[in-house]
A and B are shown apart, each in its own frame.
Chain A
Amino acid sequence: MSKFTRRELAAALSTSAVLLARPQAAPPPALPANPEEELKAAQAQLRDNAAQLDKFPLPMDAEPATMFKP
């Protein structure tokens, strides 16, 4: 068993991981010119999202959000 709660672990890991994962400022790519390019751009955006999520460490007991605590 971990000595840390998942909240403590996430808090400890999140700052460094996310800061490292933050993309460097770069000029935005040109706007897509046609539907095919738009689809490729949308897929690239989703891949970028996935890459950012991948860099975020998740303890095994971090379960998906299913309810909201008052």
Chain B
Amino acid sequence: MSISNEIFFAGITEINQKLTKKEFSAVELARAFCDRLESIGPRYNALALSLRKDVLRDAKEVDGDIKRDRLRGPLQGVPFGAKDLLAYAKHPTTWGAKPYEDQVFDYTASVLKHIGKRGGLLTGKLAMVELAGGPSYRYASASLTGPGLNPWDNTRWSGGSSSGSAIAVAAGLVTYALGSETSGSILTPSAFCGVTGLRPTYGLVSRHGAMALSWTLDKIGPICRSAEDCGLVLEAIAGAEYGDASSAKKSFYYTPQFARDLKDVRVGYAPVDFSEGVDPAARADYAKALETIKSLGVQVTEATLPEFPYGAVIGTIISAEGSAIFEPLVKSGKVDQLADQRQIAGLKAGLEIPANEYLKAMRIRALIQEAFHDLLSTVDVLIAPTRFDPAPKLTQPLDRRATERPTPATPGLTTLIPAGNLAGLPALSIPCGFANGMPMGLQLVGSPFSENMLLAIGKTFQDRTDWHKRRPPIAA
């Protein structure tokens, strides 16, 4: 049976229903997705490793299960991809970095095992910024597979560090993907590529089998076509994990049917973010997005972030932890094999951070967490543009501001990405418009473990808009 082109852009539930109705088999579906991932993925530098042989074997088992009515939920038979920082036994896991190009683990990351138990089909490992970008990098080319090319305009960057994950979802190469975030690595590529990304609460999802960049900041989460799909994937990957010291030992059940009445939800925002703070070409769409949020019936109020040196705090923590983690790489000299000179220098310099500076950053971080606890007792959700400018050109130095636009007198919520990561808060990025043809995202941040509320707002927003259904111009 032939697979329609539409299926590459379908959501999880729709694909699973077609499988259980036997409109096509899991083997046919997996083969079609592998063909597409292998042919289109390299064009955008999105593919690290195709797992065709393994996934066809797994798909055959899924077909057998469906035939016997052994149904395992909505992820069963649905193809997905995983950022190449997640171990998959007996296959290369490169972490996107030349020094690790031959690295093979004999175990599989817990999140992949969780999805595997539900019949999910891992079609490939997806490209990423080398070492998840830690502690910092200058160019989009900081990757073993080259710069992540944006499916909306391949002269622009996809965002990182979960570059391949966002590209693959946007281009219909997988139905969903797993990414990771230390400070913006799920939200940024999701916004730049026009897909929906969820950064879970710190500790909700196991990191067992994932590369570490910062023990106190790393999170694994889904990048999908919709908020609803993010909820379905999060339910599969969340949960207690004794192989991960950071585990919050909490489960997550996606329960849209029990979503809080949106009339009771207080949404905080800074008007400046939606006017002079954001790219002028996107302002009309952001104004509409704000109106749509208001039309949901939520209580909207103005909010400001507590004043803290977020950049210096998170920079110090990522540098200190990242350099400690990769100290053997630095001391072996193999660090010089990385693609990005700024990243090499940053990893070397991070080894010189005194203990008192790291501790100072972590002490300020404790106050940040308390301040957000207070702020999120006055509002339930903070919203802001995920990124205030669209995806930059590939040659743009990422440590230089790409725009000549003057910085607004008040900062609004521009530091919400580092602030939310420091406080361990969940965040959802949903597509909400375009700036000169490039997608823009809206970021929703809530209290720890408030994912169901964020997803409910995201889903209702997406029920009323079609930004998340827009497709980039991909030639077959």
Q: Which residues of A are at the interface with B, using a C-beta cutoff of 8 A?
A: 6-7, 10-11, 14-15, 18-19, 21, 25, 28, 31-32, 35, 38-39, 41-43, 45-46, 48-50, 52-56, 58, 62-66, 68-70
Contacts and interface: CB of A to CB of B under 8 A. Distances in A.
A4 to B, nearest CB: 13
The 8 closest A-B CB pairs, nearest first, are A64-B362, A52-B312, A38-B345, A42-B349, A42-B345, A65-B366, A68-B424, A49-B312
Q: Is the interface of B mostly helix, strand, loop or mixed?
A: helix
Nearest to B250: A70
Nearest to A10: B367
B271 interface: no
Nearest to B422: A65
Interface string B302-345: 00001111011101100100000000000000000000011011
Interface string B264-295: 00000000000000000000000000000000
A15 B65 CA distance: 60
Interface residues of B, number: 53
Given A38-B344, A53-B357, A69-B369, 12 more contacts: A7-B367, A38-B341, A38-B342, A38-B345, A39-B349, A42-B349, A55-B309, A58-B367, A63-B363, A64-B365, A68-B423, A70-B248
23 contacts: A6-B370, A7-B370, A7-B371, A15-B307, A28-B401, A32-B341, A32-B342, A38-B342, A39-B349, A43-B349, A46-B349, A46-B352, A46-B353, A49-B312, A49-B316, A62-B364, A65-B362, A65-B369, A68-B424, A68-B448, A69-B373, A70-B248, A70-B447
Interface of B: 136, 138, 201-203, 216, 248, 250, 306-309, 311-313, 315-316, 319, 341-342, 344-346, 348-350, 352-353, 357, 359-371, 373-374, 397, 400-401, 407, 423-424, 447-449
Nearest to A62: B363
Nearest to A34: B341
Contact of B309 (A42, A43, A52): A52
Q: Which of B201, B307, B313, B346 has the most CB of A within 10 A?
A: B307
